[in-house]
């Protein structure tokens, strides 16, 4: 084989594919940054209601909704493991498992929206302690991770490891949000490691 033939057989990435990767990497980061900037420049309104509740009642309701969101995230992880045949004694999940995973995923997203809106409107971004700073960062990261997961699921061009990576990032963001927010409220305003 001549060097010209070898060169022709080695395919160069197309500009369109390169642009797809750049947009695919930039869009989740841009989503998180935009949410941070909006929340950071928003004047907090501490009397904002959540489904008619204000003050401490709204905070407790938000903690319960956040706990439901974390529960859905755990179910999502179990369904994903089942879909790919990674649960012991169960074969790979069929179409109903995949459909359930998709429906619950969108349900979890929709559940997160009023929680996020209440957080942004009531508090904006706060960095007054390690706990609230972490909570603010993870709130923004959650939506960046969600965008990343949707992009990865829709793409047939990306490496296979990217889907579990995006799903894991989303789960971790929800888990840290729950730990630093909902559990903190429901555990009498204390959690180990984030005092």
**DSSP one-letter code for 193:** T
Q: How confident is the model at residue 36, as a pLDDT? A: 93
Tell me the residue length of the chain. 195
The pLDDT tens digits of the residues spanning 76-109 come to: 999 999 998 899 888 888 899 999 999 999 999 9
Q: How confident is the model at residue 64, as a pLDDT? A: 98
Residue appearing with tokens 């869009």:
27
C-alpha separations of 55 from 26, 46, 96 in Å: 37, 7, 41
Long-range pairs of 168-172 with CB within 8 A, sequence gap ≥ 24: 169/141, 169/145, 170/73, 170/142, 170/145, 170/146, 171/73, 171/76, 171/77, 172/145
- Closest by Cα among 61, 25, 41, 54 to 145: 25
Per-residue pLDDT tens, the chain, 195 aa: give them.
Answer: 555 544 444 555 555 556 666 666 788 999 999 999 999 999 999 999 999 999 999 999 999 999 999 999 999 999 999 998 899 888 888 899 999 999 999 999 999 999 999 999 999 999 999 999 999 999 999 999 999 999 888 887 778 888 899 999 999 999 999 999 999 999 999 999 986
Distance between CA atoms of 146 and 11, rounded to whole angstroms?
32
Q: How confident is the model at residue 141, as a pLDDT? A: 95
Ramachandran assignment for 28, one of left (phi > 0), alpha (psi -120 to 50 degrees), beta (any other): alpha
Give SS3 for 10.
coil
Residue appearing with tokens 């309104």:
45
C-alpha separations of 144 from 62, 170, 179 in Å: 21, 8, 19
101 and 79 in contact (C-beta within 8 Å)? yes
CA 185 to chain centre: 21
Q: Find all residues with CB under 8 Å of 191, minimum gap 6, and list them.
A: 131, 179, 180, 183, 184
77 and 167 in contact (C-beta within 8 Å)? yes
Q: How confident is the model at residue 8, as a pLDDT? A: 47
Domain layout of the chain by residue ranges? 23-186
């Amino acid at each position: 084989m001549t060097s010209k033939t070898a060169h022709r057989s080695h395919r160069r990435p197309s500009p369109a594919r390169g642009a797809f990767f750049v947009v695919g990497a930039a869009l989740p980061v841009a989503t998180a940054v935009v949410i941070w900037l909006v929340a950071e420049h928003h004047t907090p309104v501490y009397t904002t209601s959540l489904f008619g509740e204000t003050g401490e009642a709204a905070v407790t309701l938000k903690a319960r909704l956040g706990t439901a969101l974390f529960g859905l995230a755990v179910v999502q992880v179990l369904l994903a493991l089942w879909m790919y045949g990674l649960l012991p004694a169960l074969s790979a999940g069929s179409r109903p498992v995949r459909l359930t995973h998709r429906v619950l995923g969108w349900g979890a997203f929709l559940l997160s929206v009023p929680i996020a809106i209440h957080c942004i409107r009531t508090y904006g971004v706060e960095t007054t302690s390690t706990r609230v700073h972490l909570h603010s960062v993870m709130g923004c990261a959650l939506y960046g991770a969600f965008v990343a997961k949707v992009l990865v699921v829709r793409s047939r061009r990306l490496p296979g490891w990217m889907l579990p990576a995006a799903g894991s990032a989303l789960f971790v963001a929800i888990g840290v949000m729950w730990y630093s927010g909902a559990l903190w409220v429901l555990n009498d305003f204390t959690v180990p490691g984030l005092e």
